[in-house]
A and B are shown apart, each in its own frame.
Chain A
Amino acid sequence: MTDLATPSKVTFAEPPSSPDRRVRRTGTAARRVRSAVTSALKHAGLVLFGFVMLYPLLWMLASSIKPNALIFREPGLIPSDVDLSNYTDGWSALLHPFSRYLINSAIVVLGCVLGNLVSCSLAAYAFARLRFRGRNFWFAIMLMTIMLPIHVIIVPQYVMFSRLEWINTFLPLIVPKLLATDAFFIFLMVQFFRGIPRELDEAARIDGAGHVRIYWQIMMPLALPALATTAIFTFIWAWNDFFSQLIFLTKPDMYTVPIALRTFVDSTGESSWGALFAMSIVSLIPVFLVFLFGQKYLVKGIATTGIK
């Protein structure tokens, strides 16, 4: 029992092969073996669990290059017969080639990302650095809008945008982002700006810089991690967004990837899973790439603010 008092940290921190340790702790060889076995079992369990979790995705990838009939017979990952025609079939299965929907989605996503970066950082600068009457009041209002379900505003928005004849344009999806309605990112940036030492902007002020210059030349470069987090999450959310795109885009010319996929699944039903899977894989690639290269910011973003 007294031996346990040495923190368990030690057993984790050092690899058991350290010779110095072996001399010191010959008496605990049995325990060392046991802990190595436990650790190996734990890793085996975690790997297995991860594999089971990702299996559906891997299987979809494998099935996207199988002939249709095999999708219903082969639960395994290695295709017994490879057929790449799913991708060509899927690409041209709808009214427009799939590239059209990818481009539409890319336009929407780009607009949303730029909109959020500019508008949210401007608002965040005001909340973090400027003094003005009612600041706390407006800040509280801003926080409250984060949790507002979109359903409470979607009907009048639809009415408004249809009066403006914006239905079947990308404006209803992009303009709100230009107006900082994703308050979540304002909050994220306010938190980040508050962490930047005030001495930096004080110094700039003494050198005669105004707020616009401090915002642009000091805060923005220093806030790159927060901007990256914002860009990445906006990208993923806008790319995956279905609800508002379903409502505002009804003409096939303007379909984005999610809407196109949904039309695809409804029109072909269960008959062409291979092509459906192929296009689903295509639709996941951008998110997957962002995930691969932006992991650091993703993890930091969720850890500090709790976004999905």
Chain B
Amino acid sequence: MSSVIQEVASTRRAASERRKGDGRMAALFLAPWFAGLFLITAGPMAASLYLSFTDYDLLTAPAWVGFDNYVRMFEDPRLLTSLQVTFTYVFVSVPLQLAAALALALVLDKGMRGLALYRSVYYLPSLLGGSVAIAILWRQIFGADGLVNQVLALVGIEGTGWVSHPDHALNTLIILNVWTFGAPMVIFLAGLRQIPRMYYEAASIDGAGPIRQFWSITVPMLTPIVFFNLVLQLINAFQNFTQAFVVSGGNGGPADSTLLYTLYLYRKGFADLDMGYASAMAWFLLLIIGGMTLVNFLASKYWVHYDD
């Protein structure tokens, strides 16, 4: 009897709570997140916006300089170089990386034997590629006496020191980024699996061959995944840092040829202690990434196919 009463009471309580909403509970569950949002993310964001209008070296108080840092940026030849290096890096490596990912995903689909094994092997570099260890390896294999030149010597070609040559150093970083195509490949594989089989069955009943099916079913159905990967990998590539830092010994050389934007930002902020300038650079980076993502979304209307 008492349990029935309890039950009724508690259902009542539950019902009334539901009507009121769970505001206090939510505050409890979200407390760590709110603290993080304000103390670790939003607060520092506002502070960095403020600092970007100041001259600040960490030791003396920030001095307001208006738009000085932003104006200086466009007169700074090294900054312009770093932008050029970064754009080359991003817009060469990401398309190559995605093309490799897509090509492999298409070959691996069709439930072939050994799929899981191939997928793992191709995916492994994505997990390791961001590490210092791999950057060290890259510095050796593309060095003057490195693995690449040893292999080239076997076929009688004399290579140069790839990482120490201003014309080639960036290419080694691009190769490294392409090497990590495994992660987008796995996303492509998942996307391919979501295309309903019946589309292909219907198409083949209508007499469409494999090539026709590829262009009329696979390609359009896959465009949302291509878009997703593109947005994601572009954003990632703009922020890459470790490999350029380690391969160039921390200075973006030779002759600033691997001076990625983030590397220059780090040098300005934490080597030269020009923290106002570094903050302005960070906000400009946010603007570039945000703008590029926006353009991507706008352009997606013209080529991404949504099935609805």
Contact = CB atoms under 8 A, between A and B. Distances in A.
Interface string A52-68: 01101101100000000
B122 A281 contact: no
A284 interface: yes
A5 interface: yes
Given A126-B25, A208-B6, 4 more contacts: A261-B133, A261-B136, A280-B133, A291-B120
B145 to A, nearest CB: 4
Contacts of A57: 124-125, 128, 137
Contact of B10 (A7, A154, A206, A304): A206
Interface of A: 1, 4-5, 7-8, 12-13, 39, 42-43, 46, 49-50, 53-54, 56-57, 59-60, 71-75, 118-119, 122-123, 125-126, 130-133, 135, 138, 141-142, 145, 147-160, 162, 175-176, 178-181, 186, 205-208, 211, 215, 236, 239-240, 242-243, 246-247, 257-258, 261-262, 265-266, 270, 273, 276-277, 280-281, 283-284, 287-288, 291, 295, 298-299, 302-304, 306-308
B21 A132 contact: yes
B201 A7 contact: yes
A265 B139 CA distance: 10
B118 interface: yes
B282 A215 contact: no
A119 B32 contact: yes
Nearest to A175: B40
Interface string B30-72: 1011011101110111011001000000100000000000000
Given A206-B10, A299-B186, A181 B279 contact: no
A69 to B, nearest CB: 10
28 contacts: A1-B207, A43-B114, A46-B107, A57-B137, A72-B145, A119-B32, A126-B25, A126-B33, A131-B18, A131-B21, A135-B26, A142-B37, A152-B44, A152-B282, A156-B43, A157-B40, A179-B32, A179-B36, A205-B10, A205-B14, A206-B7, A240-B132, A243-B242, A261-B136, A262-B246, A273-B140, A283-B132, A302-B187
B221 interface: no
Contacts of A75: 147, 150-151, 154
Contact of B141 (A56, A132, A133): A56
Interface string B216-240: 0000000000001100100110110
Interface residues of B, number: 107
A90 B134 CA distance: 17
B134 to A, nearest CB: 8
Contact of B137 (A118, A215, A277): A277
A236 B133 CA distance: 13
Nearest to A182: B36
B22 interface: yes
B contact patch SS: helix
Nearest to B286: A152
B130 interface: yes
B200 A7 contact: yes
B147 A242 contact: no
Nearest to B124: A291
Contacts of B91: none
Given A152-B48, A160-B44, A302-B186, A280 B137 contact: yes
A155 B48 contact: yes
Nearest to B52: A155
Contacts of B43: 156
Contacts of A215: 29
Given A54-B124, A211-B29, A303-B186, A181 B36 contact: yes
Contacts of A298: 123, 127
Contact of A149 (B121, B143, B205, B282): B282
Contact of A156 (B14, B32, B44, B250): B44
A257 B122 CA distance: 25
Interface of B: 6-7, 10-11, 14, 18, 21-23, 25-27, 29-30, 32-33, 35-37, 39-41, 43-45, 47-48, 51, 58, 104, 107-108, 110-114, 118-128, 130-134, 136-141, 143, 145, 147, 150-151, 154, 179-180, 183, 186-187, 189-190, 200-201, 204-205, 207, 209-210, 228-229, 232, 235-236, 238-239, 241-242, 245-246, 249-250, 262, 265-266, 269-270, 275, 278-279, 281-283, 285-286, 289, 293
Contacts of B154: 75
B47 A156 contact: yes
A280 B18 contact: no
A79 to B, nearest CB: 14
Nearest to A243: B241
Given A119-B32, A159-B58, A265-B136, A149 B150 contact: no
A236 B123 CA distance: 14
Contacts of A287: 127-128, 131
B138 to A, nearest CB: 8
A70 B102 CA distance: 38
Contact of B126 (A123, A280, A308): A308
